Structure formats: C-alpha cells, structure tokens
Amino acid sequence: MQNRRIRRIATPITAAAVVGITVFGGMPAQAAPITTNFTAACLATPSAVAGPTVQAQPSSVTIDAPTTVDAGQEYEVTIAPPPITYPNSVSGASVQNVSRIKIDVDVPQNAEFLGADIVPGTSSGLSGVAPNVLRVNENGTVDPNGTIIRLSGNNAVIGNGPNSSKNSEGGIVAPAASGANTTFQLPKVKARLRAGASGNVQIKLRTGGDAGKWANDKNFLTFLPKATLIITAWAPTQCTPRDSETAPLNGGAGPLATTSITEADKATTTTLAGPGTAKNGTPVTLTANVAPAANGGTVQFKDGDATLDDPIAVAGGSAALTTTFTADGDHSITAVYSGAPGFVGSTSAAKIVKVTTDAPPDTVTTTTVEAPADAKVGQDVNLTARVTPAGTGGTVNFIVDGGAPVTGMVGTDGIAVAPYTFTTTGTHRVVAKFSGAQGFAPSTSLAFPVSVTTPAPADVETTTTLAAPGTVEKNVPVTLRATVDPANAKGKVQFKIGTSLIGGPVDVVDGVATLPTTFHNSGTYNVTAEFTGDAGFTSSASAPQTLTVPGATGPGNGGGLGSLESIFGS
C-alpha cells in the first residue's frame, strides 16, 4: 500500500494543469485566440519507495496574438498561465506543496526580445521566491543573448540551472491550503518584442535539442511535488509535448501562433538613361530604371518643371518614353517614380540633353549575349549582354526562344543585365536587341545557346537578394550585402559589376554575405550577386541593382573611353 501512495504524489500536478498559456498582442490586426490541443507526457521520479511514473494527459495552449505587425514595430506579448489545482491528499499521503515550478518558451526568431516583467496583482496562492522572468541560455544560465524565456522563482528549478535541486524546496512554492484541494495562480508575464525586417514570428514552447528529449531537465515544464506519509518524498517531474514515453513530439512542439511581419516599404533609386544630345524634331527614347526592380507605379518624365506626355507604367523595374524635342538648347530631364505598394517613390538626378538642329550620324553598335552558358530549371539567373562601344545608354531587350522580352539597362560599361528563370530543360536561344540611343544605332545579337538541365531532386532551392547600393560616392568605402534564403544555405557569393568580378567569392554566414569595396569611376552600372551552393543547395542569382557613382565620365572613367580594370577596389 505504501508503494502506491508514494507513487501517486507526482500525479496531481499535470501538464494539463500547468501549461495553459495565453498570449496577448497589443496590435490592431488581432486574430481570434487560437487554441492548440495536444497531449503532454510527464515522468515523475519519486525519491523513495516508488519507481518512476509516466503520466500523459490532454493539454492545450491558447494564443491571442496579432496576425500582422510592421517591420521594426515594438509590441507586447502577455503570457497568462491559468489557475492550477491539485488535491491535498493522495491515498493517504499529504501533499505539502509544489515548488521549483518553471515554464520555458523559446525567444521567437525574426524578433528582438526587449525584456519582460511580471504583471502586478495577477498571482495568488504562492509563497517562496517571487516569480520573475529571466532570459537564459541552453545551460539555464542567465544570458542577455540566451534563446529561452523562463518563468521561475529566480531560476530555482529541479535542473538545467545554477540553482537546482531535486530534494529541497525552492523558487516558486504553491503550499497546500485547507480543504480537499489547493488552487494557485502563476502571474501573467508581459514581454516586449520588436519585429524583425521580414518573415514570421512564431510562439513556441521550448522543445529544441535536449529539451525535446524524454525526461530531461531542459523540458519546457518541470516542477517538484513534496508529500509526506511517514517519510518525506520528492517527485521531480519533467514534461514534454508527446503522446507517450516512446512517441515523437506532437503538435504542441510546433508553432502555437504565427504573426506575419509586414515588410517596410523599400527605398528605391531611379536612374535615367538616354542620349546626351538630340536632333530637333527627331524622336529619342528616355528610359527610367527603378532599383530594386518594382512592378507597379508609374514614371513621370519631366523637362524642367514641364511634364513630358503622360506617366508611363513601370514593368520589371523600367519605364521608357519616346519623345521629340522641338526647341534647341539644353533640356534638364528627370524621371519621377510614383512608388507602389512596398516601394517608396524616388526621383532621378537631372540629365542634360543638348538639342540642336543638326546632329552627327549615329554610331554603329554591336550587341553580344555573354551569359549564362548553362542553368538549372527553376534557378534564378541573369541574362547578360555587351553593347559596343560602351557608354551608349539605352536598354537591351532579351528574348528567349521568341517569347516576351525582359529588359535590362545598359550601364556605363556597356553591360546590360536582366533576371530570368528557365522553366524547361533543353537548349534555349537568347537574342539581345539594343534599343539604340541618341547618336548610337540599334543592333541585334546573334542567338546565344543556353543549356538548361534539371537540378538534383534533393537539392534545396535558394533565392538571392542584393541590397540596392543606390548612389555611391566615388572613392568612399561601402559594403555590398547579399541575403540568401533559406538562411542555413551553405555556399559562396560572388559580387559582380556588369561582367567584372568584385573581389573573390564570399562565404555565406547565417544567410548573409558582405563585401567591403570602393568604387573609383563615375557612371551607372548593374551590380549582381551570384550564389554558388554547396552540395544539397541550388545556386541562384540576384536581380541586378543599379549602382550610380556621381561625377563626369571620360577617358579612364568609364563612358566607354577607358578601361574597367580599376573601376572598383576590394
């Protein structure tokens, strides 16, 4: 009989009783509370007479969280455990108290944990150490960079902490009250978070690594019942979300609520490409390029304060206007991008077009497709063409197998780049058509073959994004930054300006590759980042971003008259 009495002292405090957590967000975009039902299995190990006891009980977690928050926005999350009741007597054994209670929750990814406080007046039936919230690391030690948010009595727990014991009272104590049962209330916790730049913020119980293993002091819920029947028995208890001792983790280990981050509108840079001279009465083409490439919004071309025709819709980051000047003289042309959902408007620097009655004959140009030679189905690549002589301005339309064109701006180095994704295997033919520019005749390349194959089935697909460099001062150090998704992708990133390499390949660390560099020559260029994945990951290339280095171009400074050899340093 005594064996049975001691064995049962651990069962009154179950996961179903302790783990009801309600999270509140102070955001206007609030969803209805979400309840996740799951089974929590616990192992209680009495200190005397009885052996270990497994108890699996229905449990649930209710999350009241915002559906969306803005990037960088601060908000509050309130964790509110429900009232907990345990019997004061179990088969003749008197339960004295339950102590060393702790609940661990992961610090959410994609959010900055700013701190947490106990909400005054929200607890009852407690003694011992006043409950508090600490940020701890995997070892249970207080750490400002720890990955765990812990509700406890100053970190007095049964294990996984510097103040641990399995046979003495400590931390939060819920002493038995008079009557048949004891009810106590753990306090609410108000945590402050700042949303990251993008992605989702998920609320999860601590179940990663050892915390997800059976009967481990790192389990998200642990506590220490104490009972007496002739002798004193302690029953340290560890709980995980699983259906039984041998079952895998269940839905309680997954995201209990997901909050989407609304990305901040991206700053844009608008650059204007067009002729430096024009003949009075002869049509010319002006092209505005918006970086990062936006789909949506319009560009209004202006001659001084006067508008040129109607606004032009932006597609693939570009808008072009063919217009005719009827007055000789210098015309100050700008391109004003309206902005679009997710993109901030911007205005280009003024470009002077000198209009005269007489103009020299157009210079003959040649256009050549240079890349890529091969690609994988579904892989982001860049189509690249060279216009000779360099410094013509204008745009290039890339046409794959006679399909719809994709447009790239011709940089000061004569290189045009446009993003593309092949969807079928085989040999595809790419033709590049240069639009021509004031003083330069149009030209069309020969068909360029691209061999497209299927990636390995097990390879994880990646995407690469290059932060828009925008306008960069000459001879002033800057840092290029590329982001590879997913963040655990292994490989290297090669930064390029046109077709020229900027430094060497850079290792990707936590999804990011950076490269300090300095640009020495004025002009407007296409900058890209190409990710080469290690085994198990596909390669990918960023869409081109426009880099503008202010200043006059001339011999040795771009403009097609000098060498690109010293355009950048690393």
Tell me what pLDDT residue 31 has. Answer: 59
pLDDT band at 394 (very low <50, low <70, confident <90, very high): confident
515, 438 in Cβ contact below 8 A? no
Tell me what pLDDT residue 391 has. Answer: 81
Q: In angstroms, rounded to a whole number, what is the distance separating the alpha carbons of residues 539 and 494?
A: 11
Tell me what pLDDT residue 20 has. Answer: 31
Identify whether residues 300 and 447 lie together within a single domain: no
Of 356, 385, 400, which residue constitutes the final position of a domain? 356
Which has the closest alpha carbon to 425: 461, 455, 452?
452
What would the mean pLDDT of 367-395 be, rounded to a whole number?
A: 91
Identify whether residues 346 and 440 lie together within a single domain: no
Q: Give the least confident one: 188-192, 364-368, 443-447.
A: 188-192
Please name the residues in contact with 411: beta carbons below 8 A apart, sequence gap of 6 or more.
498, 523, 524, 525, 526
**What pTM, to 2 d.p., does this model score?**
0.54
Identify whether residues 276 and 400 lie together within a single domain: no
Tokens standing for residue 554:
């001339």
Identify whether residues 204 and 344 lie together within a single domain: no
How many other C-beta atoms can be found within 10 angstroms of the C-beta atom of residue 48?
Answer: 14
Identify whether residues 402 and 464 lie together within a single domain: yes
Tokens standing for residue 400:
């794959």
* Measured CA distances, 359 to 281, 350, 435, 437, 553 (Å): 11, 22, 19, 13, 21
* Measured CA distances, 44 to 18, 97, 239 (Å): 15, 15, 9
Question: How much is the mean pLDDT over the chain?
Answer: 84
Q: In angstroms, rounded to a whole number, what is the distance separating the alpha carbons of residues 69 and 199?
A: 11
pLDDT digits (tens, 9 = 90+) for 537-549: 999 999 999 888 8
Q: How many CA atoms lie less than 13 Å away from 335 in the CB half-sphere? A: 28
Identify whether residues 62 and 111 lie together within a single domain: yes
Identify whether residues 147 and 255 lie together within a single domain: yes
Stated as kind and residue range, the H or E segment containing 136 is strand 132-136
pLDDT band at 86 (very low <50, low <70, confident <90, very high): confident
* Domains contained in the chain, number: 3
Tokens standing for residue 29:
């975009």
Q: In angstroms, rounded to a whole number, what is the distance separating the alpha carbons of residues 296 and 289?
A: 13
88, 94 in Cβ contact below 8 A? yes
Q: Give the least confident one: 130-144, 312-326, 529-543.
A: 312-326
Q: Is residue 361 part of a domain?
A: no
Give just the sign of the alpha carbon dihedral 300, 303, 305, 306.
Answer: negative
Identify whether residues 75 and 224 lie together within a single domain: yes
Stated as kind and residue range, the H or E segment containing 478 is strand 478-485
Identify whether residues 375 and 485 lie together within a single domain: yes
Q: Is residue 332 part of a domain?
A: yes
Tokens standing for residue 68:
């969306």
Q: In angstroms, rounded to a whole number, what is the distance separating the alpha carbons of residues 66 and 128?
A: 35
433, 325 in Cβ contact below 8 A? no
Tell me what pLDDT residue 359 has. Answer: 63
Helix, strand or coil for residue 4?
helix
Tell me what pLDDT residue 5 has. Answer: 30
Q: In angstroms, rounded to a whole number, what is the distance separating the alpha carbons of residues 423 and 418?
A: 16
Of 305, 337, 356, which residue constitutes the final position of a domain? 356
Tell me what pLDDT residue 468 has. Answer: 82
- DSSP, res 18: H
Query: 483-517 burial by CB neighbour count: b if 16+ within 10 A, else e?
Result: bbbeeebebbbbbbbbbeebeebbebeeeebebeb
Give just the sign of the alpha carbon dihedral 278, 279, 285, 286.
Answer: positive
Residue 19 confidence (pLDDT) above 60: no
Q: Is residue 525 part of a domain?
A: yes
- DSSP, res 251: G
Q: In angstroms, rounded to a whole number, what is the distance separating the alpha carbons of residues 237 and 14?
A: 9
Cα end-to-end distance, the chain, whole Å: 79
| Cis omega (within 30 of 0) for bond into 389 | yes
Q: Is residue 231 part of a domain?
A: yes
Tell me what pLDDT residue 549 has. Answer: 86
Segments forming the whole domain that contains residue 347: 269-356
Tokens standing for residue 196:
């990251």
What would the mean pLDDT of 372-396 be, rounded to a whole number?
A: 91
pLDDT digits (tens, 9 = 90+) for 502-514: 999 999 999 999 9
Residue 398 identity (one-letter amino acid): F
192, 115 in Cβ contact below 8 A? yes
What would the mean pLDDT of 286-299 be, rounded to a whole number?
A: 84
Residue 1 confidence (pLDDT) above 50: no
For every residue of 189-241, DSSP letters joined together read EEEEEEE-SSSEEEE-BS-SGGGGSTT-TTSSEEEEEEEEESEEEE--EEEES
What would the mean pLDDT of 480-492 be, rounded to a whole number?
A: 93
Q: Is residue 76 part of a domain?
A: yes
Tell me what pLDDT residue 7 has. Answer: 32
Please name the residues in contact with 97: beta carbons below 8 A apart, sequence gap of 6 or more.
169, 173, 174, 175, 176, 225, 226
Q: How many CA atoms lie less than 13 Å away from 397 in the CB half-sphere? A: 16
Q: Is residue 224 part of a domain?
A: yes
Angle of CA points 524, 530, 534, to nearest 5°: 170
Report the range out of 53-62, 360-369, 475-484, 561-570 with the highest average pLDDT.
Answer: 475-484
Tell me what pLDDT residue 422 has. Answer: 94
Identify whether residues 200 and 302 lie together within a single domain: no
Placement of tokens 């092949």 in the chain: 422
CATH code of the domain covering residue 463: 2.60.40.10
Q: In angstroms, rounded to a whole number, what is the distance separating the alpha carbons of residues 528 and 544?
A: 5
Q: Is residue 451 part of a domain?
A: yes
Of 356, 386, 416, which residue constitutes the final position of a domain? 356
pLDDT band at 458 (very low <50, low <70, confident <90, very high): confident
Please name the residues in contact with 356: beta carbons below 8 A apart, sequence gap of 6 or more.
277, 278, 279, 280, 328
568, 518 in Cβ contact below 8 A? yes
Residue 285 confidence (pLDDT) above 70: yes
Share of the chain above pLDDT 90, in %: 50
Which has the closest alpha carbon to 474: 563, 411, 549, 525?
549
Which has the closest alpha carbon to 171: 184, 185, 153?
153
Placement of tokens 């009967």 in the chain: 215
pLDDT digits (tens, 9 = 90+) for 309-339: 999 998 877 888 989 999 999 999 999 999 9
Tell me what pLDDT residue 91 has. Answer: 63
Residue 67 confidence (pLDDT) above 60: yes
Residue 436 confidence (pLDDT) above 70: yes
Identify whether residues 399 and 344 lie together within a single domain: no
What would the mean pLDDT of 436-443 be, rounded to a whole number?
A: 84
Identify whether residues 175 and 276 lie together within a single domain: no
